[in-house]
Amino acid sequence: MRLAGSASFSEGSGAVDRSTSCAYLFDMIGQSLPQPTTDLATLRADLDTWGYCLAKDLLDEDLVAAIRQRLSDQAAGERAAALDYRFPADAEGDDVNQWVYLLHNKGTLFHQLALHPVARALAAHVLGADHQLSAIDAHITFPDNKAMPLHTDQWWMPQPRMPGERHNRQGDLVRGGGPFGEPAPSTTAISPPMVLNFMWMISDFTVENGATRVVPGSHLSGVQPTGEPRSDEVQPEGTAGSAIVWDGRMWHGSGINTSTGPRLGLTTFFCGPVVRALTNMTYATRPEVFEGLDGDMKRLLGFAPWNGYGATDDPLADFARPGVETAGEL
Ligand SMILES: O=C(O)CCC(=O)C(=O)O
């Protein structure tokens, strides 16, 4: 594994401003940054300490090859049919990369990723035993792309406030609207993680092909990045079939692909059961796909009420019912 920008950390020479950076953690904890591992206890500890972890060798070669083929075919098919999604340059700063959404509709082999025991164990560790899928999408970074601005995945989470202070109105928060600050740990209470991004490496992730950039320890800062690149970013590399996993508060963004081929990332993005999912799973799941889902996958997609939330007519039912099956005007 190579870490872009790691020189600033390892030199310990003041290359990074220790009053504002999470670099101080190296001195305080005396640990190295997360390394790829298959040990679940280490993965959990890395998530807690650094805000991300590197889960090694989760999928065997044949499964990775099958997923890569299905994803590549789907991406090419969507592009040929002019259904491919690229963000407008003024929205995400990049209009080269392709996003392939709602992968659970596009091949049952993708369901294995959402149901994978390590993914579920880490989702449970961060979010609790009950969690849902917020998205199951691929992010394919192509050569000549732009770096994604640093961001967190829960910019919409209100900051804690002391009694008497004006509270943050959740519905008024805007993406990219701060509060901004430095990634050093907060000295006051911060919000918990509400989402977990489990980014599967369907091809090798390298510095050259735009591996995800992260700012270690930034999940404890309680603030948002401005989007600008930073000297304390690192860019962990990993092999296909592995995953980089991060806490929703972590500062991160995809990298620049200077290689000659695409980087295939696939996120099974988990959220707590009262968080609105990024993609509208219950509306978007195709009927023939729904028919083939088992209970666990239905629960992950949000078809099951959670303590009454997400119910249709019966809060205690195992699964919500579509409108056509509920009572209308009588
Ligand atoms: O594709 C990547 O490396 C990062 C994607 C990302 O930032 C996100 O899903 O929030």
The per-residue pLDDT for range 273-295, each reduced to its tens digit, is 999 999 999 999 999 999 999 99
Distance from residue 283's CA to the centre of ligand 1 (Å): 24
C-alpha span between 122 and 129 (Å, rounded)? 10
Identify the pLDDT of residue 147.
87
Identify the pLDDT of residue 25.
56
Closest residue CA from atom 7 of ligand 1: 253
Identify the pLDDT of residue 94.
79
Identify the pLDDT of residue 22.
54
Using only the alpha carbons of the chain, give its radius of gyration: 20
Task: Give the CATH number of domain 33-150+175-304.
Answer: 2.60.120.620
Distance from residue 237's CA to the centre of ligand 1 (Å): 14
Closest residue CA from atom 8 of ligand 1: 253
C-alpha span between 136 and 144 (Å, rounded)? 25
Task: Output the CA torsion sign for 311, 283, 194, 36.
Answer: positive
Pick from 96, 148, 152, 175 the residue to mutate for probing ligand 1's pocket: most ligand atoms within 8 Å of its CB: 148
Helix 40-50 / helix 117-127 crossing angle, nearest 10 deg = 40
C-alpha span between 64 and 240 (Å, rounded)? 7
Identify the pLDDT of residue 45.
97
C-alpha span between 206 and 257 (Å, rounded)? 9
Identify the pLDDT of residue 9.
31
Name the strands in the sheet holding 52-55, side by side, starting at the edge strand that comes first in the sequence: 52-55, 243-247, 195-201, 263-271, 132-141, 98-100
Structure tokens at 192: 């918990």
Distance from residue 109's CA to the centre of ligand 1 (Å): 21
The minimum-distance atom of ligand 1 relative to the CA of 97 is 1
Mean pLDDT, each 10-residue run in order, the chain (330 residues): 32 39 53 94 98 98 98 97 86 84 98 98 98 98 93 96 95 94 97 98 98 98 96 97 98 96 98 97 97 98 96 94 93
Structure tokens at 263: 């980087």
| Cα→Cα distances 10→7, 32, 36, 158, 174, Å | 5, 9, 18, 35, 36
The per-residue pLDDT for range 110-160, each reduced to its tens digit, is 999 999 999 999 999 999 999 999 999 999 999 999 989 999 999 999 999
Identify the pLDDT of residue 29.
54
